[in-house]
Each structure stands twice: as structure tokens, then as C-alpha cells.
Structure 1
Amino acid sequence: MNRDREILRQLATEVAEIAASPGMTKLKEDWKQHNALQSPRPMICVSPEGSWREIITEKDLLCEDELMRSFERVLRMKIYWATGIGDDTPISEYFNVPYQVKETPYLLGMDDVEQRVSDTGSFHYKVMIDDLEEGLEKLRFRKVTMDRQESERKLSAAQESFGDILKVRHRGQFWWTLGITAEVIKLIGLEALMIDMYEDPDGLHRLMAWFRDEHLNLMNQYESLGILSLNNEDDLIASGGIGYTDELPEGNGPLSYRDLWGFSESQETVGISPQMFGEFIFPYQLPMLERFGINCYGCCEPVEGRWEWIKTIPRLRRISVSPWSNKEQMADLLGKDYIFSRKPNPSYVCCGFNEEAIKKELKETLSLAPKLNLEIILKDTHTLENHPERLRKWMEVARKIAG
């Protein structure tokens, strides 16, 4: 254990030195300006996501204790982001330890719903509900419980190991999206969701309304437990971007959703018409988004056809412009009124390194920069074919083109 502590303290010291550098201080201010729609320049980030397992492998971790290894992984990720990638991801003096929470399932057997071919390959969901009418009777709202003792144990372990070097605190998020559609598909399948829009619209509306109410109930539980966390600093938010802002939290009282960035998307329903999105999806997402202080929308789905509805979200700020979006049309729609969160095509990095395609795509995006609050987020890099240096190379190309 003493050796584990020495390893963590050495890594924490490296992180603290990076966090204290003048470049990081400026990055924080750049993100604040960017999120306030006063972008000083295009912000460029890389999110390794699934490829982290190829960048920091189990063999790279030196600690023996499992909890210490989890801390070590986070510290090494921070160092690699700064030194191995060198993008606009800020590294702060904070070390975040998540609360330990559990949620009961909607339905027995939900833990085994995902049927995978491999860790990185395709998968499908085992259909849990064949009949909407009967299925609705079986569903139950999730119940949240928090293990305060375990939460404190992990926080104390980090504090005792390197709390005099980094600022250790509880912080974390309990969901990535409030989009609902992914959860519905886990129960009935994607095909059924789309067919029910024609064959059983009333039943689908009842199911979507149930999920809306269930998600609102879940949100209320986290708020009542007092374990919401701010996401207004070096937090990765939505489908890309960093949370630094002076606009949140809004008050000094107990934390509420009005103090947080909110996010929703519906990338699974990319195959339906805008009208179907406006009837069956968006009305059930909106009540949740109305509770947040600043909102983000979209991920891999093109949203230009859905803009009629999306633009009505209160306090909407960040919009995803996916590789499959019409970026020129989106530039006209968003202008300087929103953050244009451009997602380059990850296949140019994940399947070989297609430098010419990368340059062409970046040049096309950056040509729009003068009329936008632009950020470029390379994400969905779920493999690099064990060539992590590609991320640094992509970043160097992007920096050069961005000037």
C-alpha cells in the first residue's frame, strides 16, 4: 500500500504542475468566453473514449490495490491528455470522486438486456416487452439509493493518498443523456419503436409519457438526496465541450438542476421524419430540459431537420453538428447565437490515418469559423488500432490548419 501511495503522489504532483501552468489558466478563460458565445478562437478537443483502453492498458497501471488502480488510471489520463494529445482540454487542480449510487431496474432482467458479440463489436438488445399494453403494467420507476459509507471511504482514500497535492472532492454525473429513446429501445427494440409510430401511436405515446415521468422522478430523487454535482468547470458535458462558465450556478442555495448544464439527444431515431420526431420524441424530452440552467442538444444525429423543435428549448446554448449534418445549413441556422459543436468523422483516425481526408474536412469546417462560436470535438474514437499517437497527429494537423 505504501508503494501504491508513492505512485499516486508522484502522478498527482505531475497533474498539479500541469494544472498550475499559465497555459491551463488561459484555457479556462478561453472556455468561459466560448461558452458565453464570445469565442476567442475555435476550441479544439479530442475525446479518446473507447480507445483509452489502448492508451492506458492494464499493464501500464502499477498500483496493486483495485481502488488505487482506479485513481491511478484517472491521473494518468489527465497527464496523457496534456502531454500526449495537447488539445484544449483543461487539466485542473481537482480530483473528482463519484458518489456511490445504485438504481433499481425498470423491469427484472434489465441487467442482461445488452447482447454483445465482443467488447468492441456490435450488439443488440434483447426485447423485454412485446405488448405495450401489458408491458406498461410491469414497469416500475427506478429507485435511487446512495451508499454514503462507501462514498466517504473512497473520498477519504484519495484524500489520504494525495489530498495535500490535489483538491479531492465528491463530484460526478449519474447519466450522460436525458434523451429517453435509448432507454425505450432497450425495452421494445428499435424496429418496434419505429413501427409503433404507425401501428400503435396511442400505445407509444403512453410509453413515452411513462418514461418522461420516470426520468423526472429519478431527477427528483437525486435532487432530494442532495448529491447533484455542478458541471461548470473542467467537466466534459453533453456530446462535446467543457463546462467552464460564470453563468452557473445561478444561486447560493441548495443545488438544483437550474444550476447545471443539461443535455438531450435522440441519435437512435435518425431514420424517422422530422414530423415524427416532433410528435413522438421531443415533447417528452422538453419537460426535463426546462429544468436546467443552460442546455445542449444532439450527438451523432443530424439535427437540421429537427431544428424547428430543438430551437424552442429554453436557454439552449450548445448544438452538435455531426459528421452527417449539412454543416453549411447548420452554420446558417446557428450563426453566433449558439455554440457550433462540430464532430469530425472519427473513421479517418480509427481505421488507418487518412491525413488528406482529415485536412479536407477540417479546412471545410474552419472556413465557417468567422461567423460561428466554433468548437471541434474529435470523439467516438472507440479504437485506434493500438496506435494512440494518431490522436496527437490529428491534433497537430488541426492546430496547423486553425493557425
Structure 2
Amino acid sequence: MTTISKKDKEVLRKLATELAEYASLPIHQQKADMWKHLNDLEKVKPMIWMNEIPWHELGPEVNSIETTSELCRRQEKRIRQLIYQWKYMPGDMVLEPKIVCPLVIHDTGFDVLPQLKNAEGYTGMADTIMVDGASHFDPVIENEEDIEKIKMPMVEVNWEETEQNYQLLQDVFSGILPVEKRGIYDFELLPLEKKGANGWKTYSSWFGFWFAPWDDLVQWLGVEQTLFGLTTRPDFIHKVMGRLVDAWLHRLDQYEKLNLLALNNGPNRIGSGGYGFSNQLPQADFNQNHIRTIDLWGSCAAQIFAAVSPQMHEEFALQHEKRWLERFGLTYYGCCEPLHKKISILKQIPNLRKISMSPWADLNEAVQKVGNQYVLSLKPSPAIFAVEAWDLDEGRRQLISILKKTKGCSVEVIMKDISTCRNQPQRLWEWAKMAREVTEEFT
């Protein structure tokens, strides 16, 4: 029987008390309502949120993990990050007054591992070698026979371990914050993975809906081989993509059948964008005892198609991706790929609500095509934090420029992919404060 030490309990209770104080503030309901207005295409100011933050550069306040057990360390890390972001760079952040206990889910995966060759010429599985300098993926799927290497994932839940974790967390946080068992709803945290004796992998239920099949395929086929294959081996590319989407849908069917899903119309990251608050989810016939994909947000991205024509994007990506997207109530499309020239094909997605606008997107062209039909998920360049001389005024000019171009549209501003702040976290704090002030001017 797993137990939690007195010290671990004291650390978590102290942090939870602070989180509970912040989460009880009335502003969180106000912000939640504003996110609902945005996602329901109603008039509201541009909403701001920061994500994919270089936590390792932000000092001991967030990185000094004091607990010892795996369960406690994961909770401590999450709580510290929530508190830190709320204190220093909240934007339009919303805190939940609860602790999430994820289901313990086992998943066999697709059983195909990418093979990476590093700068020294050493080849190995991508999770076993260190990458220093240039590298590339060696193909592990080269012909039609190899397509069968992509296995259909098998999913099951360890309810006993889940219940044990739940009871432990109930005891730790008793009287401070409620604990909620929660199934799959977003991908805010990286999965906890460990291979068991039976070959299964264990994921926390924060693993879920980051559906980007082309991210997998370019690793399995090789980047150049994939892009050349669009013209030289189109039938092969379609067959590989079809098999992979079948595998993803096989996993999704099990999520739904096993009742592993949780609502994501709250302070949950949707796609590569902001929160999923919406009055349009779940569906009118929603059953809280069995959540369906149609009650949720879904998402998709095809980042490797950044330079691929709209016609080829539609043929090789969208026609396959729609099989996934049509399962959900509302959807988000895109990540780092510029999509301003592809709005017309994206309009084929009947439940589309948000479109990513990366730093490389032409916002003038996008606005002409979108109007107020969708939420534009704006991604300012995070390079502003990486330069040697910090220039907040330049960050302000950049933000005002993109907001002027999108004035009148439904807009969220997501500052993400921040790989470094040069160990100067105040850069993030100052940008967040500035962005909140600037977005208020565009109500």
C-alpha cells in the first residue's frame, strides 16, 4: 500500500492553501465568462494567455520540488506552476478551485519508434540518443508491407491504482481543495510513461487530443521522403496516412467505450491555443455519466505542410484529418504552420471554431477570408524574449500591430513556444502585464 510521508503532505497542503486562496477570487468567473463569449463568437476583448513557458529558467520558486513520491512530485510541480503563473504572468488565466486526480491509463501505442541519426552519424531510436547539432530521421516505414508495422493501440484503465491515488490525494488536500478524478480532456502535461512487464505503457489522463498524425509520419518516413512522396508516391502516402488515422480512431473508440473522457470546455488548453470555455459544449443531450467525443473540443495540426499548396494540403492532410475532427462538437485547427492561404479548405470542417495564426501567417489576408466566422488564435513571435537586449517597447509595437490588423475579429493572443527568456523571468512578467493592458484597449 502506497503511503505519503508527513513531509510530502505538509508541502502539498501549504501549496494547496495558497492555490485555494487565489482560485477563490471572483475574477476567475469573470474571465471564464469572457472566454465563453470569445469561443461562442460574441463580442469581447482579445483574450491573452501564455503557454509553453521555459520553467527551468524561472528559479527555485517554481523548480524547487520538495516532495519525494512520484504522485506528490507531479502534483507539487503542477501546483507550483499554476501559482507562479497566476502571481507573475496571469494574462486572462483562470484557476480551478480543485485538484485533478488523473486516471491511470495503459496504452500499447502504435508500436513504431522513429530512428534518428545525429550529427556524429550514430543511429538509434529517437528516445535513446542525445541530439547535438544537425540530425535527421531514417525511414522505418519504406514500403507498403511496412505499413502493417503501425499497430492498433489497446487501451485499458488501472482502476485500482486510480482509486488508490484518489484516496491518497483526498487525504492530503482534505479541507483545502476538493479532488476530482478526471479522464482524458487535454494535453497540458506530458504523459507519464513507464513500460510494464506486459509491454504496456502508462499514461496520465492529461494525455489526450493532440492529433497531429503528420508529426508521426515524417518521423517514420523521413522528412524529405514524405514531402517528395506527395508527388512521387501519392498512393503509398494515402495508405500510410489512412492506416495511422485508423489507429487513432481505434484508440478514440476505446476512450469513449471505456468512459475515459472528461469535458474540456473549461480552463483546458485546446489545440495549440487558449481555453475551451463555451456555452455550446457539451451537447443538449449530454449525459454526465458517459461523456462522448461530440461533447468535447477536438483539434488537429499539420505543421510539416507549411510550404505545401492548399490543394495538396486538402488532399493529403485534410481529407484524412476530417475523419477525426468530425467526431467532436467543436474543433481547433493548426499550430505553427501558416494557414492564411488555406482558410477556404478549412471551411470544409463543419464544426471548426478556432484557426491558429502562427507568427508567419499573413493576418491581412486571413482577416479578409475569416471575418468573424472563426476565432483567430494569434501567436506573436516568442523571439522577443530570446534577444540579448530586452525591448518591451518592441514587444508592445508587435502586439499592437497584430491587434490592429485583426480589429473586429474574435481574437485570442497565445504567447507560446518560449524556449528561453535568457534566465530573466521578469521579461515574461513585463510582457504579460503589457499584453493585458494593450488588449484592454481593443475591447
Which interval holds the TM-score relative to the shorter structure?
Answer: over 0.9
Distance in 2 separating the partners of 1:63 and 1:165 = 18
For 2:126 and 2:145, the matched residues in 1 are separated by 19
Contact 1:42 1:369 in 2 (8 A): no
Structure 1 position 110, deviation (Å): 5.4
Distance 2:17 2:134 in 1: 40
1:115–1:126 Cα contact (<8 Å) kept: no
1:386 aligns with 2:419: no
Q: What amino acid is aligned across from residue 286 of structure 2 in structure 1?
A: N
Alignment of 1:154-193 (within 5 A): 154-171=165-182, 172=184, 173=186, 174-193=207-226
State the AA in 2 paired with 1:199.
Answer: T
Question: Residue 316 of structure 1 aligns to which amino acid in structure 2?
Answer: L
Q: Which amino acid in the other structure matches residue 168 of structure 1?
A: V
Matches within 5 A, 1:350-361: 350-352=386-388, 353-361=390-398
Distance of aligned partners of 1:213 and 1:52 in 2 relative to their CA distance in 1, 3 Å threshold: same
Distance in 1, Cα, partners of 2:406 & 2:345: 25
Query: What is aligned with 1:266?
Result: 302
TM-score, structure 2 normalization: 0.85
CA distance in structure 2 between the partners assigned to 1:279 and 1:163 by the alignment: 53
Rounded to whole Å, the distance in 2 between the matches of 1:135 and 1:357 is: 50
Moved more, 142-151 or 219-228: 142-151
Farther off after superposition, 253-262 or 60-69: 60-69
The residue that corresponds to 2:27 in the other structure is: 23
Q: Which residue of 2 aligns with 1:53?
A: 56
Aligned residue runs from structure 1 range 182-261, under 5 A:
182-250=215-283, 251-253=285-287, 254-261=290-297
RMSD: 2.1
Structure-1 residue corresponding to 2:74: 70
**The one of 310, 318, 322 aligned to 2:354:** 318
In structure 1, distance between residues paired with 2:258 and 2:382: 39
CA distance in 2, matches of 1:144, 1:215: 12
Q: Does 1:399 align with 2:412?
A: no
AA paired with 1:395? A
Distance in 1 (alpha carbons) for counterparts of 2:245 and 2:64: 43
The structure that is helix-richer by fraction is 1
Kindly indicate whether the alpha-carbon contact (under 8 Å) linking 2:363 and 2:406 is maintained by their aligned counterparts in 1: no
> Aligned pair count?
400
The yes-or-no answer on 1:152 pairing with 2:163 is: yes
Change over 3 Å in CA distance of 1:369–1:20 after alignment to 2: farther
Q: Which runs of 5+ in 2 are unaligned?
A: 116-124, 187-206
Amino acid at match of 1:221: Q
> TM-score, normalized by length of structure 1?
0.93
**Greater displacement, 166-175 / 18-27:** 166-175
Q: Deviations over 1:164-209 (max 9, x none)?
A: 3222112243334223111111211111111111111111111111
- Could you say what secondary structure the match of 2:100 adopts? strand
Aligned AA (1:103): D
Query: Aligned partners of 1:190 and 1:50: how far apart in 2?
Result: 27
Q: Distance in 2 between matches of 1:32 and 1:68?
A: 33
1:371 alignment partner, SS class: coil
Please give the per-residue CA displacement for 1:266-306, whole angstroms capped at 9, x wherever unaligned.
01221222211111111000011011001111111111222
Q: Using a 3 Å threshold, how does the CA distance of structure 1 residues 167 and 369 change in structure 2: closer, same or farther?
A: farther
Farther-moved stretch of structure 1 (1-10 vs 338-347): 1-10
In 2, the alpha carbon distance for the partners of 1:190 and 1:59 equals: 36
Residue 327 (structure 1) aligned with residue 363 (structure 2):
yes
Within 2, Cα distance between the matches of 1:41 and 1:17? 27
CA contact (8 A) 1:12 1:165 kept: yes
Report the counterpart of residue 137 of structure 2 in structure 1.
Answer: 125
Q: Which amino acid aligns with 1:55?
A: L
Alpha-carbon shift at residue 156 of structure 1 (Å): 2.1
Task: Give the drift of 1:107.
Answer: 3.2
Q: CA deviation at 1:358?
A: 1.3
Instruction: Write the deviation string for residues 106-159 of structure 1: whole angstroms up to 9, x where unpaired.
Output: 33545933576459x876434312x22121133321222222222222222222
CA contact under 8 A between 2:46 and 2:412: conserved in structure 1? yes
Could you tell me which of 78, 90, 98 is aligned with 1:94? 98
- The runs of 5 or more residues in structure 1 that have no matched partner are none
- For residues 101 and 331 of structure 1, the distance between their equivalents in structure 2, rounded to whole angstroms, comes to 42
Counterpart CA distance in 1 for 2:48 and 2:134 is: 29
- Quick check: 1:85–1:395 contact (8 Å CA) kept in 2? yes
Corresponding residue number in structure 2 for 1:113 = 126
Q: CA deviation at 1:354?
A: 3.5
CA distance in 2, matches of 1:97, 1:383: 30
Residue deviations 1:333-392 (CA, integer Å, cap 9, x gap) = 222221111000011113343434312211111213531111111000122222222111
Give the 3 Å change call, closer, same or farther, for CA 124–107 of structure 1 in structure 2: same
Give the Cα separation in 2 of the matches to 1:342 and 1:222.
31
Moved more, 52-61 or 16-25: 52-61
Instruction: Check 1:157–1:126 CA distance in 2 against 1; reply closer, same or farther (3 A cut).
Output: farther
Change (3 A) 1:17 1:142: same
- Identity, in percent, stands at 31
**Residue 400 of structure 2: aligned partner:** 363
Describe the superposition over 1:195-226 as per-residue Cα deviations: whole angstroms up to 9, x where unpaired.
Answer: 11111111111111111211111110111111
Q: 1:4 aligns with which of 8, 12, 19?
A: 8
1:264 touches 1:289 (CA, 8 Å); kept in 2? yes
